[in-house]
Amino acid sequence: DAGVIQSPRHEVTEMGQEVTLRCKPISGHDYLFWYRQTMMRGLELLIYFNNNVPIDDSGMPEDRFSAKMPNASFSTLKIQPSEPRDSAVYFCASSLEGSGSPSDEQYFGPGTRLTVT
Amino acid sequence: EDQVTQSPEALRLQEGESSSLNCSYTVSGLRGLFWYRQDPGKGPEFLFTLYSAGEEKEKERLKATLTKKESFLHITAPKPEDSATYLCAVQGGYNFNKFYFGSGTKLNVKP
C-alpha cells in the first residue's frame, strides 16, 4: 500500500486566501485524523472521522477551519480565510478499528507544510 | 485539567547508555496511551499502545510500561539511529473520545 497520501506537500499563500489540504487514507481504514503541528503548540488533534462521520471536532481552532470526508478514500481540510498564525505542518492519519482503541496504530502521512504570509 | 506531560524535554545519551523517558497524565477515563517516534520532516510513526496499568510492550530496544499515572519508555543500549523525538498521547476524557498529546522528548544518541 502507498500509505497515507497528502497533497500538496508545501503550500505558500497570502493572508485572506482560501487553502484546501487533501488526504487519501489507507484503503480499508475506518478512522481518519487531521493534526496540526507547530513548535509552540506541538501536535494537536483538530478533528477525526469514523466511517466518514465526524466524531470529535473540538480541536478545530475556529470557524475558519472546516473538514469534510465525502467518501472513505478522501478528506479535505479547508481554511478560509487563512491567517499567518495558521502556518504549521498539517498531518493526516488513518487507522483500522480493531479490538482495542480506534487510534491503535495510526499511520501518518508526510504532512503539508503551510506558510501564510 | 486533562493533560499529558513528558520529561525530559531533551535527552543526550552515549551509544549503549540505557535510559527512560517519562509520560505522566492527568486524563480521566483512560482508554489508551500511545507512544510515537517522529523523525525530522516526517510524520509520527506508531510504536505502542497500552490500555491498562501493569501492561508492558517491547519492540527491539524499546519497552513501554504503564501505571495509573504515568508511562515509561525504556531504551536499552540505544544506537544513533534511535535519535528522534518521542511523543506520548492519551485517549480519554469524559466521553473517552478526546486525544491529548505531550510535547515530546527529543532524544540524541551519540556514537
A24-47 pLDDT, tens digit per residue, is 999 999 899 999 999 888 899 999
Residues 16 through 55 of chain A touching chain B, CB cutoff 8 Å: 42-45, 48, 55
Residue A95 confidence (pLDDT) above 50? yes
- What is the percentage of chain B residues whose pLDDT exceeds 90? 77
Provide the pLDDT for residue A2. 80
Does A74 lie at the interface with B, CB-CB under 8 angstroms?
no
B44 touches A: beta carbon within 8 Å: yes
> A96 touching B, CB under 8 A?
no
Cite the beta strand spans of chain B per DSSP E: 4-7, 10-14, 19-25, 32-38, 45-50, 56-59, 62-66, 70-75, 84-92, 98-101, 105-110
Indicate the residue of A56, A101, A110 with minimum beta-carbon distance to B31. A101
CB-based contact A108 B44, cutoff 8 Å: yes
First and final CA of chain A: distance in angstroms?
36
Neighbours of B77 (CB within 10 A): 12
- List, for residues B23-82, the tens digit of each pLDDT value: 999 988 888 899 999 999 999 999 999 989 999 999 999 999 999 899 999 999 999 999
- Nearest chain A residue to B40 by CA distance is A110
Find chain B residues with C-beta within 8 A of A58's C-beta: 98
Which helix (DSSP H) or strand (DSSP E) does residue A12 occupy?
A: strand A10-13
**Average pLDDT, integer, range A73-78:** 97
Closest CA to B107 of B4, B3, B5, B18: B18
Pairs across A and B, CB distance < 8 A: 54
Pairwise CA distance, residues B105 & B85, whole Å:
5
pLDDT of residue A99: 44
SS3 B53: coil
Distance CA B17, CA B12 (A): 10
Contact of B39 with chain A, judged by CB distance below 8 Å, is answered with no
* Phi, then psi, of A38 in degrees rounded to 5: -135, 160
Distance in angstroms (rounded) separating the CA atoms of residues B80 and B88: 21
Q: Are B86 and B74 in contact (CB under 8 A)?
A: no
For the cut 90, the answer to whether the pLDDT of residue A70 exceeds it is yes
Residue contact B49–A103, C-beta within 8 A: yes
Q: Which amino acid, one-letter code, is at A67?
A: A
CB of B98 less than 8 A from some CB of A: yes
User: Does A111 touch chain B if contact means CB atoms closer than 8 Å?
Assistant: yes
Residues 6+ apart with CB under 8 A from A47: A33, A34, A54, A56, A57, A59, A60, A67, A77
Closest CA to B36 of A101, A105, A80: A105
